[in-house]
Structure 1
């Protein structure tokens, strides 16, 4: 009985040491991966990496991670030659394959969401245009035009949509003309716009876009998405 008790105690101690070592190496791997992701994307903001599944060491031995959650902040992209900042991109990467010497990691599939604040959307819009949340999944766009020496400002409720798989489109549902010649056309020239988004992480693409209180929320997906390397 004493020998069995010693064996059990030894097993518990070794198991505890294994778990401790597993968690320690996991934390180190997550930190190193975050730095590599940040360098790869040239981020001005932060990168966070969380590796799911237990134990971590057996996944590393098999050179495949079940799931890796990544959060990127401050991604600078471009839209029609204008700088656009994606304030946050959160993605779940599945079946992440580790390369030789663990120098690279590539996800078989990825899903997530990206956020563009209304302030950053304004930077990608024309001058004198201010977008904001319009309620009910709409965007309110305020623009000013000059008509016969008068500056006229209008706020319109607009629908936001995704076209051609890479372009965010904002279109006013209605623009009151109030009997002023060409007023609606002039306002629409300010408030209606398309912005083609480029510069997302390699392998990621836009799926849909919707307006929420704190900005545009874009659903993204990808295949064969490189995490590092």
Structure 2
């Protein structure tokens, strides 16, 4: 009697298992790629629609500015779009101009960050309805050229030194020209930036009452309140400080529509 033995087919089974694992990995990579692409498409859609809404709101407030640049923060984007809730939306507005008592005030750049924004998918699709932010914070800079244009003082120069606003301008006393220098305290009052100069000096100035009166008049002339144009999204001025580029302002608002 002859006994026949058959070898176990272990090698083909291993190959089949390896192929299944590779196929699964490929499918996972494809699905991940599709999710990433879909996420980016959702973000682009939200950014485009919110930018359109913001542009309409800015135009309604008669503010002159270049088209806003909008970017949606947080990840993933797709779930934010579907839920209508966004962690953070950044809005960059450039060349923001406003008319203040007949004078033009320019903010070369206004950076706005809206937190916890509610914008339903239906609102974005139809372009109607409110886009509401829990908080909105804005930072911008008023260039010194705009500030000096508001002050009637020939030859006035404004700049920043060690974090303080300083000013210099030529004055004439007894037929001689001197340069007066002074520093200012900055503060915010309502919609105004207050410039209060003090400690003005002029090297070589004669120690006579007339000379001191000229310096005092200079201080009064350049100590002014600067009206800031109406800021978008109902933002209220909170702080001002001197920087090399100009007067940097900080503003904020709570529970405000950034589009309506």
**Which of the five TM-score ranges fits, normalised by the shorter chain?**
0.7 to 0.9
The number of residue pairs the alignment matches comes to 228
Query: Aligned partners of 1:47, 1:155: CA distance in 2, in Å?
Result: 42
* Corresponding residue number in structure 2 for 1:142: 168
Map residues 175-186 of structure 1 onto 2, 5 A cutoff: 175-176=200-201, 178=206, 179-181=208-210, 182-186=213-217
Higher normalized helix content (fraction of residues): 2
Contact residue 100 and residue 229 of structure 2 kept, 8 A = yes
How far is 1:39 from its partner?
4.0
Contact residue 145 and residue 186 of structure 1 kept, 8 A = no
Q: Normalized against structure 2, the TM-score is what?
A: 0.75
Query: Aligned partners of 1:191, 1:129: CA distance in 2, in Å?
Result: 12
Map residues 6-17 of structure 1 onto 2, 5 A cutoff: 6-17=23-34
Matched, 1:101 2:140: no
* Corresponding residue number in structure 2 for 1:88: 109
How far is 1:153 from its partner?
6.0
Which digits, 9 at most, give the CA deviation of each residue in 1:19-47, with x for residues without a partner?
11211331243244334423432433342
Matched, 1:113 2:144: no
* Corresponding residue number in structure 2 for 1:27: 44
* Corresponding residue number in structure 2 for 1:174: 199
How far is 1:5 from its partner?
4.6
Which deviates the most, 46-55 or 71-80? 71-80
Q: Unaligned stretches of 5+ in structure 2?
A: 1-16
Contact residue 142 and residue 153 of structure 1 kept, 8 A = no
Map residues 1-229 of structure 1 onto 2, 5 A cutoff: 1=17, 2-3=19-20, 5-42=22-59, 43-99=64-120, 100-102=122-124, 103=127, 104-126=130-152, 128=154, 130-143=156-169, 154-176=179-201, 178=206, 179-181=208-210, 182-229=213-260
Which deviates the most, 205-214 or 96-105? 96-105
How far is 1:152 from its partner?
5.4
Q: Normalized against structure 1, the TM-score is what?
A: 0.84
Higher normalized strand content (fraction of residues): 1
DSSP 3-state at the match of 1:128: coil
Contact residue 159 and residue 172 of structure 1 kept, 8 A = yes
Q: Unaligned stretches of 5+ in structure 1?
A: none
Residues 200/131 of structure 1: CA separation in 2 closer, same or farther (3 Å cut): farther
How far is 1:223 from its partner?
1.1
What value does the CA root-mean-square deviation take over the aligned residues? 2.7
Contact residue 70 and residue 90 of structure 1 kept, 8 A = yes
